[in-house]
A and B are shown apart, each in its own frame.
Chain A
Amino acid sequence: MSHNFIEMAAVTDVGSVRQFNEDSIVTDAEIGAAILADGMGGHRAGEVASHMATDIIMNGLQSQVAEFRSDTSSQSPLQAMDESINRANKAVFDAALGQSTYRGMGTTLALVLFYDNRVTLGHIGDSRIYRLRNNALQLLTRDDSLLRDQIELGFIAAADAGESHNRSLVTRALGIEESVRAHLREDEAAPGDIYLLCSDGLNDLVEDADIELIMSELKVNLPLAASHLVQAAKDNGGYDNISVILARVLKPFPAASHKRWVTRLLGWLR
């Protein structure tokens, strides 16, 4: 397995208005995984939910990637991600049932897993994943939010979204029900691609055109690009917690599969 195939930079910030940071981010460049969660619920329960989700899912992905690498897994990365997400969902749901101050807690989610030249993307709620390819920014997720539903159904114009007070109303979250259906998809990961995972504290305040400009101008210095994104959100108001994870594909990363090697060997012998 080729190591150092992904470079990551991550920043989370309480913002300019809030007292607590209910976002949680974890990254593991060695296995090629990054997870971001934006928690919700009273009495700082959002913080509990987001941290539970990122920790449980990262643990799950770490053991699953170890199984992929040792060829002892029968799962696809997509199935592995779904399983980890649902384990986290159940844990948050059970914790909320077990303690009254945690009741109703939940979290949004955005995560990526890079494996075998491909990226698996997952999300729930209004946290987003973008990709910068050839200096063009593309949104890869569709917000689970009331405002997005309203715009998509033509109830209100996108230009009037600033007038709405529905910005923070999400229509799906992890930990609210006994099981959760995450939006999952796979795509090819090309060297040079930069993936951005962010909480709504970024994209609610910084226009996509400015996100694109900051990422393409500063991509050579990923930590600086990440801190500039957060700074731009704070400069524009910073009324929410702001989290960003940037993940750059450094080189091709085909799985060094034993199975593949054995197949090739059998091919020669034939």
Chain B
Amino acid sequence: MAKLVLSSGGSVLFQCFLDEERVSVGREASNQVVIDDPALSGEHAVIIPVGNDHILEDLQSVNGTFVNGVRVSRHILQHGDVIELGAFYLRYLNPRASAERDFERTMLIAGLQESAEAARNEAGPFPEEARVPAARLASVRFPKGRVRVIAGSRAGGTIELDRVVATFGRPGDQVAVITRRPHGFFITHVEGRRYPRVNRQSIGKEARALQHGDVIEVADEKLEFSLA
């Protein structure tokens, strides 16, 4: 369960659990969290629970709401966030709202717009902005690599391998794919009766790891692979 810890000058003044209710913060006594500081507005900010999240919203306060030193108007709270309110600090603690997502299991929850949904035409396509985008783990890093084209129609050129896949060769005749992975680059046969060659040896049908300086032959293309 999520918790708010109010402190000032290094000492803890107050703690409360966040449950299903919205929690407002401000100078006036009507707020759930009352902070008597002239720097705060009467109704300064509010914390709204939505699903697994707590969303902090500034209520157009005079002096603003800051999270970890950055002014926010709306912010999805993360475990350990510090909300700065005048001379006071409000720390958000929720071990479930940490970066690692493997705790997440698919669960059912009431939608926010079932009635709107019912009225809507089912036919697509759907607006891009309403799409939930992908978010890969922040810790994933990819190596940098490129190929220099030694022979073929693109001879003399250099191709950066900055996407997940890049294909080489001639469609219908012979094609190979170079795949960018966290631990390096790999080449795999895609189509054609002959397999691509690396350093004059056929790679067969399995993926093969590429080493710096490898020379690849596929259809009429000859490429030199290098790691940046």
Inter-chain contact B132/A147, CB cutoff 8 Å: yes
Residues of B within 8 A of A155 (CB): 50, 55, 112
Is A66 at the interface (CB under 8 A from chain B)? Answer: no
Is B21 at the interface (CB under 8 A from chain A)? Answer: no
Smallest Cβ distance from B41 to chain A, in angstroms?
A: 22
Smallest Cβ distance from B182 to chain A, in angstroms?
A: 6
Q: A139-B126, A204-B134 are in contact. Are A146 and B105 (CB under 8 A)?
A: no
Inter-chain contact A166/B164, CB cutoff 8 Å: no
Is A143 at the interface (CB under 8 A from chain B)? Answer: yes
Residues of A within 8 A of B11 (CB): none
Residues of A within 8 A of B130 (CB): 142, 148, 151-152, 158
Stretch at the interface among A224-232, A245-253, A255-263: A224-232
Residues of B within 8 A of A168 (CB): 104-107
Smallest Cβ distance from B75 to chain A, in angstroms?
A: 8
Q: When the two chains form the complex, which single residue of A144, A149, A207, A221 contacts B134, counting CB atoms closer than 8 Å?
A: A207
Q: When the two chains form the complex, which single residue of A17, A149, A205 contacts B113, counting CB atoms closer than 8 Å?
A: A149
Residues of A within 8 A of B104 (CB): 165, 167-168, 239-240
Is A171 at the interface (CB under 8 A from chain B)? Answer: yes
Interface positions of A from 205 to 221, Cβ below 8 Å from B: 205-208, 210, 213-214, 217-218, 220-221
Closest B residue, CB atoms, query A181: B118
Interface positions of B from 110 to 158, Cβ below 8 Å from A: 110-114, 122-126, 129-137, 140
Inter-chain contact A185/B122, CB cutoff 8 Å: yes
Is B209 at the interface (CB under 8 A from chain A)? Answer: no
Query: Range of interface residues on chain A?
Result: 35 or more
Is B224 at the interface (CB under 8 A from chain A)? Answer: no
Residues of A within 8 A of B109 (CB): 146, 169-171
List residues of chain B with CB under 8 Å of any chain A CB.
50-53, 55, 74, 76, 78, 96-97, 101-102, 104-114, 122-126, 129-137, 140, 163-167, 171, 175, 177, 179, 181-182, 188, 190-191
Cβ-closest 8 pairs across A and B: A171-B111, A236-B136, A237-B137, A162-B135, A166-B51, A165-B52, A149-B112, A40-B106
| Contacts beyond the supplied A213-B165, A239-B101: 14 A-B pairs with Cβ under 8 Å | A17-B102, A39-B106, A142-B126, A142-B130, A150-B50, A164-B76, A167-B135, A169-B108, A170-B107, A183-B122, A208-B134, A217-B165, A220-B171, A236-B137
